[in-house]
Chain A
Amino acid sequence: MIEFDGVSKRFGSQGVLRGVTLRIPAGSSLALLGPSGAGKSVLLKTVIGLIEPDEGDVRVAGRSVLRDDGRALAAVRRQVGYIFQSSALFDSLSVEENVLLGLDDEVCRTNPQWCRQRVEQCLRWVNLEPDAAAKYPAELSGGMQKRVAIARAIAGNQRYLLCDEPTTGLDPMNAALIAELLRRLQQQLGATSIIVTHDLSLARFVTDRFALLFEGRIRAHAPADEFLALDDPVVRSFTAAAQNLQRVA
């Protein structure tokens, strides 16, 4: 379970998160929706301690990530796969080396053969050919980079998956491929996941619950179908705008 308990964060004078309280039960997947600048990515980064809230607590599997204890945070990070909006692959490392980073160093030192096989397995999972392993991020398309980022995020059999705008900047075919991959991972790994997105069709395809973050607070949180039927003006205006955009596209 991932729990946000009264999480607040300010940047200078701007309050980005204002007491966010949200619980994502183990094994479920949540689409975190909201307009740009609502603080969705900030909230996601608090889960692995990349951003420290000013107030409140964030717990993963009942363990606070805010305790001033590097080991507790490291233990949480080992269980969480994080897919950044920009993929955030290391330019100077090959695809294989990037995915290896998702595995434990000590394990790879003692059993390098197993680690190499695990990398191959993860690349196959994300529909990448084995010859992609030797390539560098600059040689890959945006969609392939995103798939490598997913492979890195799942390499260590992570129990939690956090995706920040996984289809942004991708063409419709690659976006559909990533959506399919995320759904398959969700089903096969049974991971607890949060997907930050503006894309309602991706959210419906991959997740079972929606939450809308608006002006720093959770405006609505419900199972997908219930959420879409909510009579809240902000929810209705957001979903109508997102659906109109999809129709135009």
Chain B
Amino acid sequence: MDRINAVGGGESVGHWMIPGNALSALGARPFAVLRLTGEAWLTARACLRALRQPRTYLPLTFAQARDIGVASVPLVAVVAMISGAVTSQQTGYQFTGSLPVWIVGSVVAASVITELGPVITGLVLAGRVGARIGAELGTMAVTDQLGALQAVGRDPVLYLVVPRVLAGLMTVPALVAIADGAGLLAGWALALLTMPVTTAEFTYGVRWWFHDFALWFSLLKGLAFGLAITFIACLVGLRTTGGAEGVGRAATSAVVSGTVAVMVLDVIFVRLLKVF
């Protein structure tokens, strides 16, 4: 772990490159990828080891859960409501006249619970939480605060990474549940206002499609997204070098990597859904 933090403390990431030779620079890329993979593995191992000290990380985890989770509720709820409402309108527009109206309830529930709720939440949090963690840890890295934490005998993984990752694991599934509920409610409300469908018909559609596994599937996606977004942002933050510009790069990189991770995980989960 100390090697990882030494990177945060100012070592050159392009360490493997042999200058003045374009070919060697190209050849260095696989080394950089290998190095990043190694750092991710070592950080993950250090996180698992740090789990033995709950008295240190639990209070910090609850503070992070408030920042990551509670503070994200309004944004997640609004975006989920908009997506639920749009789904309801699109379904009405596409299917009215060709299929029974209660199908709107089924389509809204299926889209929101299996896809839109978790993915929209993941994307929103990759932006909001990823940028925050990347910039926060990045600033600590470039201002020697990570070094100072180590200098006083504290493990940055225990104090900074574990609380954020655990907070992500705790709150993102809850946020996904909120997004699912908000999306369904908005879809139902707009369907009632703009389509020839009753509450009974809409809820019949929802119940016709609904099965327990879909809800677990949605929450499981939230768990995976929460882990990926927070862990990647922490890793990016710890590796930051290069002053204010480096912090900017870290924030951007945390958002981009988190977004890509959410989309890749979503594809993997779609395959899993087909298996089950």
Contacts and interface: CB of A to CB of B under 8 A. Distances in A.
B111 interface: no
Contact of A51 (B11, B145, B154): B11
Contact of A12 (B17, B144, B147, B152): B17
Contacts of A73: 2
Contacts of B211: none
Among B6, B10, B12, B151, the most chain A Cβ lie within 10 Å of the Cβ of: B151
Contacts of A82: 147-148, 151
Contacts of A88: 143-145, 147-148
Interface of B: 1-3, 5-6, 9-12, 14-15, 17-19, 55-56, 140, 143-145, 147-154
Contact of B154 (A84, A85, A101): A101
Contacts of A86: 143-144
Given A13-B18, A88-B148, A50 B5 contact: yes
A86 B19 CA distance: 31
B152 A77 contact: yes
Contacts of B10: 51
Contact of B11 (A11, A74, A78, A91): A11
A209 interface: no
A90 interface: yes
Interface residues of A, number: 29
A50 B150 contact: yes
Contact of A101 (B9, B55, B152): B152
Chain A interface mostly: loop
A91 B152 CA distance: 16
A70 B4 CA distance: 13
Contacts of A45: 9, 147
Contacts of B153: 74, 77-78
A105 interface: yes
A203 interface: no
Interface in A45-75: 45, 48-52, 70, 73-74
A45 B17 CA distance: 23
A12 B19 contact: yes
A109 interface: yes
Contact of B14 (A12, A48, A84): A12
A49 B2 contact: yes
A86 B145 CA distance: 9
A78 B18 CA distance: 38
A178 interface: no
B224 to A, nearest CB: 29
A50 B9 contact: yes
B9 A84 contact: no
Contacts of A109: 55
Nearest to B63: A92
